[in-house]
Amino acid sequence: MSLDQNEISKLARLARINVADSETEELSQRIGDILDMVDVMQAVDTSNVVAMANPHDAVQRLRADEVSETNQREHFQAIAPQTEDGLYLVPQVIE
Amino acid sequence: MPNHTVADILRGLEAKTFSSEEITQQYLDAIVAHDPRYNSYITVTADAALAQARAADQARQKGNGGLLCGVPIAHKDIFCTEGVRTSCASQMLDNFIAPYNATIVSKMAQAGTVTLGKTNMDEFAMGSSNETSFYGKVHNPWNTDCVPGGSSGGSAAAIAAGLAPAATGTDTGGSIRQPAALCGLTGIKPTYGRVSRYGMIAFASSLDQAGPMAKTAEDNALLLQAMAGFDPLDSTSMQLAVPDFVGNLNKDLKGLKIGVPKEYFSEGLDPAIGAAVEAALDEYRKLGAEIKAISLPHTHLAVPCYYIIAPAEASANLSRFDGVRYGFRCENPKDLDDLYTRTRAEGFGAEVKRRILIGTYALSSGFYDAYYRKAQQIRRLIKQDFDAAFKEVDMIAGPTTPNPAFALGEKVSDPLTMYLEDIYTIAVNLAGLPAISLPVGFTQGKPIGLQLIGRDFDEASLLAAAHQYQQRSDWHRQAAPGSV
Amino acid sequence: MEWEVVIGLEVHVQLNTKTKIFSGSSTAFGAAPNTQASAVDLALPGTLPVLNEQALKKAILFGLAIDADICMASVFDRKNYFYPDLPKGYQTTQMDFPIVGPGIVTINLADGSSRDIRVHHAHLEEDAGKSLHEDYHGMTGIDLNRAGTPLIEIVSEPDMRSAEEAVAYLRKIHSIVTYLDISDGDLSQGSLRCDANVSVRPKGQAEYGTRAEIKNINSFRFVERAIKVEVQRQIELIEDGGKVKQETRLYDSDKNETRAMRSKEEANDYRYFPCPDLLPVVIEQSLVDQLKTTMPELPDAKRQRFEQAYGLSSYNAALLTTERATADYFEAAADTAGDAKLAANWVNGELSAALNRDGLSIAHSPVSASQLGGLIQRIVDNTISGKIAKQVFEALWNGEGDSADAIIDSKGLKQVSDTGALGAMVDDVLAANPDQVEQFRGADEGKRKKMLGFFVGQIMKASKGQANPGVINKLLNEKLGS
């Protein structure tokens, strides 16, 4: 099984990863190989098996509603690609 | 210093044979002199290490040092270390100076460890050979033409080469145990939830677990003692008391039931490894353990299941790397879309991008049930195999890997065969269980690892079993040819 | 052709917790950009979420208020999409197992009728940050203070049939969440925002028409206008032979029109899956029971009680109970006044008009409930007339005194009931108007009644409104010999 160019483009689009045309074929082959490899799962009857999302049957712990964080803007923005007036800057967003 | 263990260093510090500053300086010198051969470190924090060492020496003098006061270690470059680059071996984070400490980094510091630096790894921990690092591949000290294993390959190579007595690692599908096996070390993946994940850069959140790597089980016990424990910042961290791992090391193994799954000795296993594992099991018989044949019938589904769940979780975990708040941003983005797609295309390496795309596929509309949900159901079947087995036995034993260290470049072009190197380790992550790998022999000069898998939160028994084997063997005391 | 309008609303309510849903950052409004964005909110690598207990409790309270099933094991999912105000590249929300299951919201319409609107579910999720489109050299600024603020998203069934019903529904949601004190309900700060799914179909047709989703409407007035203009657009489009496209639209209040959003054009695939960093939220029945005991009286129950206990008209009771602050104000005023009906008239009349005039909310009323109650008390005990009371109210409003009594005293507004003083006044008026007195005496019973009003008016004028009308009537009747 291999994915066609359209499918690769769609995935690349969803993942926001630019994929050059020259890379498509190899990617398609490699992803196809993995899909072939995992295909063995389809033969297993799992109709009565409850999906398992986490290793333990543990439950969510709750945090008290108390402020524990202080302003660290300068510290955090020291590693930002581009900021101004305390804002992170990105190319213009069009709604 | 040659072949020092953490326990040796602690004894030396206690006896004032050397100071922390002296031993730290020795390791730093050794790194400068020898690491170019292995490439095991991404960042060496010499000045900070010496400052920490001096502080540790003072603390020890005052008698208020922690459990590991003055012991130099290395951190895998997946753990955030405040003020120090934390790259995850990716160009994406090449410029990322972490603004906070991972919980495990803080806990190790509280215990008094000195951080020599940050070790190399597969990019975002995605790999079994340490060949996907942005900072270049890592060489196995036992045979520098071979891989050290991955993803904690830098930590493993550093210890095997004598460039650190111990290091932290992370294990999502075998990333502590497999490099430990390939480099002749002992490494434990604790039970999921035993060690905090806060500040550890996520690969696959429901599988990731941090743990120690060192030469001996005793060292592993010492390190795990310091890093384990409940963390309120991690919702998946378990609120359980941490047992006395060190105090338990000599717990009697008489009557211990060890299960040996027939599926772990199938075709694909190097016969020399099979033989070494059998020999190790004989030693356990001598220690009073009872060896039983068992079956884990869904073993063949572990790798397929993992290669859906891990990439699916990763595809979302790695979405935060978008060039907006930190890390790499592409040059002159012409619009927002360009910012995203080029930052991520240029910042991530090929294997990471492949896994993100696979994960995206597995979660996408129309494929979710066939891939993601199916994999989660298979995951339960795999867990149930272990549940059933642990009704019969106390521990499960088998090879850690089917083959010894393979040649650098050998499997790069064939990821599928590389994935199969994790065939014995992956199921353990899917089930969340603790497992340890310890050296039990050599083949063609390359180390062989035995894997022991325990019940949930029973790391103490694994460490005890490994320790007592090491009391009657010296595989773990062998030094790699060029090591310091 | 006759068209039927079909509307479903998705209402986002910010919960008034002190901290964010998954981090310990403050949620206080109005802080400088990114000063309330912690490591978790910024999605720094390695950070993890832990659920805020109060956010969960407040969501459960909402569920109880709309008589919904509470999900005893709800699950957080990741909704994946890229946007600069979404730091993780996914929103943590709830998809398959939301905390609140199906429920009912009863809306009250202008004609006094009410209708049940079904709620499909309500789930907990995190808010995104804000994109500031002011020009930063052709770039957009991102403020993540709001990122991670807890929201409940309340999703209705497509049960509403007019813009008015949609507004009534939104008002009711506003009422419920402010009664429960789970949200400040401040629309101007975005505490309540709404997406409207709007479609039209020929009357009688069973299947729904294609719907358009109008995003992010943030006032009651705009909800009504946006829906009306969108309905108009759809009907005209269809009648001109066109087809409604399923799309996301924005309401432009300046132009009073909706337009398709450019950024949302591509079909999205959100790839929901359970968030592995959070575990199932398992609730004990005891928590639900305990929360039930803390439930305040809700608008519908309060309205019924006001009608029954105070004998208020359903119109007055509805007005008073829309907002909890109004209802509380009324009850306090009525308690002091000793006359609930009169208090209701004053709150819905004079007070509400003054608040509207000055653009104030009842919480910021310059006249407190006890001050108004004290004023009404003086009407009830005949110290002042209703007319004088309005003067006293204005004086209280302008801060001319601490209480009605103080103002009545200082301004000398006390009603005159003294028969001697009023008797002299009556005599003066009668003496000054001999013709009218003559006419009165010659008139029949019916006309006399009308003419009496003339004399009362003259006397009130002479007394500057302070004469007790009852006493004057009595005196006039005596003196005119009728």
DSSP assignment of B335-401: SHHHHHHHHHHHHS-HHHHHHHHHHHHHHSTTTTIIIIIHHHHHHHHHHHHHHHHHHH-SEEEEES-
CA angle (C333 as vertex; C328, C336 as ends), nearest 5? 130
User: How open is the CA angle B116-B483-B473, to the nearest 5 degrees?
Assistant: 105
Q: Taking 90 as the threshold, does the pLDDT of residue A94 lie above it?
A: no
Mean predicted confidence (pLDDT) in C300-318: 93
Nearest CA distance, A37 vs chain C (angstrom): 22
Positions of B marked catalytic: 76, 151, 175
Nearest to B433 by CA among B383, B398, B394: B383
Residue A58 burial (CB < 10 Å; 0-12/13-18/19+)?
Answer: middle
B367 contact A CB<8A: no
pLDDT tens-digit map of C328-343: 999 999 999 999 999 9
The answer, for B333 touching chain A at a CB cutoff of 8 Å, is yes
- Touching subunits of A (3+ CB pairs, under 8 Å) are B, C
Q: Are A29 and B207 in contact (CB under 8 A)?
A: no
Cis peptide bond N-terminal to B151, omega within 30 = yes
**Low-confidence residues of chain B: pLDDT under 70:** 1-2
How far does the CA of residue C273 sit from the closest CA of chain B (Å)?
A: 7
Quick one: pLDDT at residue C262?
Answer: 67
pLDDT value at residue C436:
85
Say how many CA atoms lie within 13 Å of B334 toward its Cβ.
0
Q: Is the pLDDT of residue C59 over 80?
A: yes
Rounded-to-integer distance, Cα B310 and Cα B372, Å: 10
Asked if C335 and C327 touch (Cβ cutoff 8 Å), the reply is no
Chain A residues within 8 A of B307 when measuring between CB atoms: 34, 37-38
Distances (CA, A) of B146 to B122, B151, B333, B476: 15, 14, 40, 19
Q: Tell me how close the Cα of C130 comes to any Cα of chain A, in angstroms.
A: 10
Name the least confident of B316-325, B473-482, C135-144, C447-456.
C447-456
Angle at C276 between CA B204 and CA B192, to 5 degrees: 70
Q: What does the block give as tokens for B396?
A: 């499960």
pLDDT at C452: 83
What is the side-by-side order of every strand in the sheet holding A87-91?
A: A83-84, A87-91, C139-143, C130-136
Encoded tokens for C315: 């119109």
CB pairs < 8 Å spanning A and C: 126
Instruction: Give the C-alpha separation, A3 to A27, whole Å.
Output: 9
Average pLDDT taken over every residue of chain C: 92
Contact C385, C391 (CB under 8 A): no
The single residue listed with the structure tokens 């470049």 is B409
- Residues 116-155, chain C, touching A (beta carbon < 8 A): 131-133, 136, 138-144
**Do A80 and B308 lie within an 8 Å CB cutoff?**
no
pTM of the model: 0.92
Which segments of B150-305 are extended strands (E)? Answer: 166-171, 186-189, 209-214, 257-261, 290-294
Q: What's the longest Cα–Cα distance across chain B? A: 70
Please report the pLDDT score of residue B2 as a whole number.
Answer: 56
Which of A89, B325, B343 has the alpha carbon at shortest distance from C138?
A89
Measured in degrees and rounded to the nearest 5, phi and psi for residue C479 equal -75, -30
- Residue B432: its pLDDT value, please? 98
Report the candidate in B164, B3, B135, B484 with the shortest Cα–Cα distance to residue B156. Answer: B164
Phi-psi sector, C108: left (phi>0), alpha (psi -120 to 50), beta: beta
* Stretch (H or E) spanning C260: strand C257-260
Cα Rg of chain A (Å, integer):
23
Q: Read off the pLDDT of each residue in C71-94 and give the average, rounded to a whole number.
A: 97
pLDDT value, residue A95: 65
- Chain A residue numbers touching B304 (CB-CB < 8 A): 37-41
End-to-end CA distance of chain C: 68
Enter the ipTM: 0.97
Place of tokens 């009931």: C417
The SS3 assignment for B105 reads helix
Portion of chain C with pLDDT greater than 70, in percent: 99
Confidence band of C482 (pLDDT split at 50, 70, 90): low
Write the DSSP string, B399-452: ES-SSSPPBTTTTTT-HHHHHGGGTTTHHHHHHT--EEEEEEEEETTEEEEEEE
Distance to chain C for A26, nearest Cα, Å: 25
Strands (E), chain A: 62-63, 83-84, 87-91
State how far the Cα of C313 lies from the Cα of B228, in Å rounded to an integer.
67
Rounded to a whole number, what is the distance in angstroms from the first to the last CA of chain A? 39
The answer, yes or no, to whether residue C267 has pLDDT greater than 80, is no
Residue B413 in contact with partner chain A when CB distance is under 8 A: no
* Contact yes or no for A73 and C39 at CB 8 A: no
Query: Could you say which of B102, B326, B364 has the minimum Cβ distance to residue C271?
Result: B364
Q: Are residues B335 and A91, on separate chains, in Cβ contact within 8 Å?
A: yes
Give the CA radius of gyration of chain C. Answer: 30
Tokens of B111: 């215990």
The CA-based diameter of chain C, rounded to the nearest angstrom, is 100
CB-CB contact of C105 with C116 (8 Å) = yes
| CA distance linking residue B422 with residue B303, whole number of Å | 8
C407 token code pair: 């103002």
- Coil, helix or strand for B211? strand
Please give the DSSP secondary-structure letter assigned to residue C128. P
For B377, phi and psi rounded to 5 degrees?
-70, -45
Q: How many Å apart are CA C53 and CA C68, to the nearest integer?
A: 20
pLDDT of residue C455: 86
List alpha helices for B236-349, DSSP H.
271-286, 302-317, 336-347
Collect all residues with Cβ–Cβ distance below 8 Å to A94 and sequence separation of at least 6.
Answer: C262, C263
A78 Cβ under 8 Å from any chain C Cβ: no
Which residue shows structure tokens 């529904």?
C169
Residue of B nearest to C43 (CA): B320
Contacts of A92 in chain C (CB under 8 A): 133, 138-140
C194 CB-side CA count, 13 A? 29
Number of neighbours of residue C366 by Cβ within 10 angstroms: 13
Q: Return phi, psi of residue B441, to 5°.
A: 150, -175
Stated as kind and residue range, the H or E segment containing B453 is: strand B446-454
In the prediction, which pLDDT does B480 show?
Answer: 94
Please report the pLDDT score of residue C397 as a whole number. 96
Task: Give the angle A22-A24-A28 at the CA atoms, nearest 5°.
Answer: 150
Residue C264: the pLDDT is 52
What ranges in C276-346 are assigned the alpha helix state H? 285-293, 299-310, 314-321, 324-337, 340-346
In the complex, which subunits touch B with 3 or more CB pairs below 8 angstroms?
Answer: A, C
